[in-house]
Amino acid sequence: GQQLNQSPQSMFIQEGEDVSMNCTSSSIFNTWLWYKQEPGEGPVLLIALYKAGELTSNGRLTAQFGITRKDSFLNISASIPSDVGIYFCAGLNAGGTSYGKLTFGQGTILTVHP
Amino acid sequence: DAGVIQSPRHEVTEMGQEVTLRCKPISGHDYLFWYRQTMMRGLELLIYFNNNVPIDDSGMPEDRFSAKMPNASFSTLKIQPSEPRDSAVYFCASSLVVGLRSNEQFFGPGTRLTVL
């Protein structure tokens, strides 16, 4: 089935550093979503992207929809301890016939040391 | 506004028992999704509904799993009989088809299921 390759798998950084993670796909996507999941909770939607080349910010978070429509990245600037969690990318395959059938990346585990 | 509500938050049961997980979607949302999350397989879509009708259940692992949505504000995921390999966190999510934002799914807090 369709898979997203998300990297890196994990990151250990110091507070104040910038973070970058990305997702790539072998096929074209119509939508890219970025979620954050904290321990014991469900994923929370951070940013949604709908157009190739789109660059969207949400506070210290910035995400882009790749021009090829096969990739997306998420940047976090000036990380703080509460940024800790698992970040997931998710996408909707442009060739799919089933609305809503998002494909999720494997997740990036972020640890921020004070 | 209340988000997606799931119950119970934790369930511990013995192999062979029936398990029922419950979900209340965000009011007004017309799509409801059931996911399973494990370390090995990540987030997997099990089944989803549109306007209470099951649309795609190809992710349901086997006949022991069933899901219903009797009305717009309630859905259940049932496992009978349960097995240890069913141990996972089960999430419910909902969304509303509104133009471009149709694919934004909002997740509940999950039910952590442990089958002994």
Q: Do A99 and B103 touch (CB under 8 A)?
A: yes
B55 in contact with A at a CB cutoff of 8 Å?
A: yes
Give pLDDT, residue A16.
97
Please, is A26 exposed, middle or buried when counting C-beta atoms within 10 Å of its C-beta (0-12, 13-18, 19+)?
exposed
Q: Dig out the tokens for B49 from the structure.
A: 């509904």
B65-113 tens-digit pLDDT: 999 999 999 999 999 999 999 999 999 999 987 666 667 899 999 999 9
Q: Distance between CA atoms of A19 and A77, rounded to whole angstroms? A: 6
Segment among A4-18, A69-83, B59-73, B101-115 with least mean pLDDT: B101-115
Give how far B100 is from chain A: nearest CA, Å: 7
Segment A2-7 shows an average pLDDT of: 83
3-state secondary structure A14-71: ECCCCEEEEEEECCCEEEEEEEEECCCCCCEEEEEECCCCCEEEECCEEEEECCCCCE
- Residues on chain A bordering chain B, Cβ-to-Cβ distance under 8 angstroms: 30-31, 33, 35, 40-45, 48, 50, 88, 92, 98-102, 104, 106-107
A97 has pLDDT over 60 = no
Q: Do A42 and B108 touch (CB under 8 A)?
A: yes
Q: Considering chain A, what is the average pLDDT of its residues?
A: 91
A98 has pLDDT over 70 = no
Give how far B81 is from chain A: nearest CA, Å: 26
Asked whether the beta carbons of B13 and B19 are under 8 A apart, the reply is: yes
Asked whether the beta carbons of A31 and B101 are under 8 A apart, the reply is: no
B16 has pLDDT over 60 = yes
Give pLDDT, residue A41.
93
B114 has pLDDT over 60 = yes
Share above pLDDT 90 across residues of chain B, in percent, rounded to a whole number: 79
B25 in contact with A at a CB cutoff of 8 Å?
A: no
A-to-B residue pairs, Cβ atoms closer than 8 angstroms:
56
Give how far A77 is from chain B: nearest CA, Å: 24
B38 has pLDDT over 80 = yes
A16-63 tens-digit pLDDT: 999 999 999 988 888 999 999 999 999 999 999 999 999 999 999 999
Q: Dig out the tokens for A29 from the structure.
A: 């996507």
Give how far B11 is from chain A: nearest CA, Å: 14
Q: Considering chain B, what is the average pLDDT of its residues?
A: 93
Share above pLDDT 90 across residues of chain A, in percent, rounded to a whole number: 77
Q: Which of A33, A92, A100 sits opposite B33 (nearest CB)?
A: A100
- The DSSP bridge pattern shows strands B74-79 and B5-7 to be unpaired
A101 has pLDDT over 90 = no
A95 has pLDDT over 70 = no
Q: Do B103 and A106 touch (CB under 8 A)?
A: no
* Strand, coil or helix: B90: strand
Share above pLDDT 70 across residues of chain A, in percent, rounded to a whole number: 92
Q: Which of B43, B102, B108 sits opposite A99 (nearest CB)?
A: B102
